[in-house]
Amino acid sequence: MCCEGGDNVVIVSPIWPNIFQATRVVGAEPRLVRLNEDWSAGRWHLDLDKLFDACDGRTKAMFLASPGNPTGWMLSAQEQKTILDFCRRRGIAILADEVYGTLIYDGAAHAPSFLSIADEDDAVFAINSFSKPWAMTGWRIGWLVHPKSVEGAAAAMAQCNNTGATHFAQYGALAALSPEGDAFRATLLERCREGRNVVENWIGRQNRVRWLKPDGAFYGFLHVDGLKDSLGFCQNMVRNDKVGVSPGWAFSLGDPRDDSYLRICFAQDSARLAEALERLEGAIRKL
C-alpha cells in the first residue's frame, strides 16, 4: 500500500533488521538515518534536518519505532508533530511502530503516539502488537490503525497475509484486554524497570561499558570500548558463556559505529540478569 520497486523508505536506525529487509523484499530501497549519541545529555538524539534531507522524490514512506528496539529511544510529541507536518507536505506515509508504547519509564501511561495528532485520512499507519506489553511474543497477533481511505486495500491484504489468527492466540488477546491483562502489563513494566536498574548499577561499576539509558522498551544497547566485531563476540558468548546477546552489527546496514554495540534484554528475573551480566563482564575482559 505504501511502496514498491523503485521507491525508497527512510528508516530511523539502529533498528530491528526485519524492517530494512522487508523494505528490500518489496523491491524498495531502505535509507537508514542513524540516531546520534548525545553522551552529555545521556540520550539518543534524532537530527530532524538529517532525517528530512534523506527524503527525495522517490521517498514513499518513513519508518519510526518509538520506543525503539534496540536503543529504547523515544520520540517526543513535538518531534512527532514536526515529522507529521513534513510528511503531509511531501506526501510521505508514516509507518509508526508503537508496539512498546506502554513499556516506558517516565510515569506516563503511553509513549507519545502519532494517532493522537493524525487526522482521519493522514497517511499514518500505526503498528501495534500483543507480543511485548503482554509477553505474547511468537503468538503473532496484533493490530494496525490505518487511514480510512485505504480500508478496502487493507482488508484485501489482510485476507492474504494474516486472516485466521490461531484459536489460542485469540483467547490470549481477549485475556490481555481484560482487567487481569492490565494487571499483568503493570507487573511486567515493574519487572522491566527493576531490570533496567540492575543494568544501570552494573554499568556504573564498569570502565569499558556505557549506555544511553533507554526511555522505553526492555533492551539495553551497550557500547563496549575496544569491541570491533560484535557478531564474533556474540557467537563466542553463546559457545563459551551460554549467554545470548545480539550484535550491534545486525541493527544497521553495515554502519561501523554499531559494531561496537551489544543489545541485551533486561526483561529478566533480577538474579538471572545479574548472573548474565557477570558472565558478560568476564567476556569483555578478554577483548
Separation in Å, CA 164 to CA 142, 158, 168, 287: 12, 10, 11, 49
User: Running along the chain, 287 residues long, what does each successive block of 10 average in pLDDT?
Assistant: 91 97 96 98 98 98 98 98 98 98 97 97 96 94 93 86 85 96 97 98 98 98 98 98 97 96 97 98 96
* 244 burial via Cβ count (<10 Å: 0-12, 13-18, 19+): exposed
Output the pLDDT for position 157: 83
* Whether residue 191 sits in one domain with residue 160: no
Considering the domain boundaries, does residue 269 fall inside one?
Answer: yes
Q: Do residue 96 and residue 157 come from a single domain?
A: yes
Does residue 230 form part of some domain?
yes
- Tell which residue, 129, 139, 135, 137, has the closest CA to residue 169: 139
Q: Within this chain, do residues 70 and 138 fall inside the same structural domain, yes or no?
A: yes
Three cell numbers at 73?
Answer: 529511544
Residue 200 lies in a domain: yes
Q: Which domain holds residue 67?
A: 8-165
Residue 206 covered by a domain: yes
Residue written as grid cell 522524490? 57
The verdict on 207 and 253 lying in the same domain is yes
Give the Cα separation of 215 and 104 in Å (integer).
6
State the pairing for strand pair 43-45/93-97.
unpaired
DSSP 244-276: --EEGGGGTTS-GGGGGEEEEE--S-HHHHHHH
Is 105 domain-assigned? Answer: yes
pLDDT of residue 159: 83
78/129 same-domain check:
yes
The pLDDT value recorded for residue 116 is 97
User: Do 157 and 188 sit in the same domain of this protein?
Assistant: no
Question: Contact at 8 Å (CB) between 214 and 196?
Answer: yes
pLDDT at 234: 98
Nearest Cα to 87, choosing from 105, 109, 61?
Answer: 61
Distances (CA, A) of 93 to 86, 130, 156, 249: 10, 24, 19, 28
Q: Please identify which residue in the block is written with the cell numbers 525508497.
A: 8
Looking at the structure, do residues 144 and 50 belong to the same domain, yes or no?
yes
Assess contact for 62 and 93: CB atoms under 8 A: yes
Residue 20 domain flag: yes
Strand partners, 64: 96
Position 240, amino acid: N
**The pLDDT value given to residue 251:** 98
Is residue 173 one of the residues assigned to a domain? Answer: no
User: What is the rounded distance in angstroms from the CA atom of residue 55 to the CA atom of residue 52?
Assistant: 5
What pLDDT score was predicted for residue 164?
78
Structurally, the chain folds into a number of domains equal to 2
